[in-house]
Amino acid sequence: MDTGIQLWIISLVIGLVVIGVVAFLLNLIKKTAKDIDRTAADIWTQGKLTANNTIHIPLFLTKTNQVASKILNSAVAIVGGSKAITQHIEGCPGCPHCMLQSSKNSSL
């Protein structure tokens, strides 16, 4: 065989090998890009879901604060009533007088 033809065949074989390697690497890049795109889409979806959940926090917090305020007011009233009962028990000798007073007041 002629040297020129041998060089031409070797060049074609090397070119085909290079094209094969480049095609393989480009395919890996394409696969990696698709994985990155899919992962970014999942992150975006989770971010939107988290934002959707947290947007309601101020509404729930306002309602929670209102209910907690009512509970506190009730607790303060219960403590006040408990102190009044304690004071009455300490100052009342047997309580018949208090019973008579309450029956007289209710008949008026």
Is the pTM higher than 0.85? The answer reads no
d(CA 43, CA 38): 9
Residues 6+ apart with CB under 8 A from 92: 98
Domain positions in the chain: 1-55, 57-108
- Angle (nearest 5°) at CA 71 between 68 and 72: 85
Q: What are the b/e assignments for 51-64, b being 16+ CB within 10 Å? A: eeeeeeeeeeeeee
pLDDT per residue of the chain (108 residues) written in tens, 0 to 9:
688 899 999 999 999 999 999 999 999 999 999 999 999 999 999 999 998 888 888 888 888 999 999 999 999 999 988 888 888 777 776 666 566 665 565 555
pLDDT of 83: 87
Please, are residues 92 and 98 in contact by the beta-carbon 8 Å criterion?
yes
What CA–CA distances, in Å, run from 51 to 9, 40, 57, 60, 104? 62, 16, 10, 15, 65
Q: Find the DSSP H helices in 1-95.
A: 3-54, 57-91
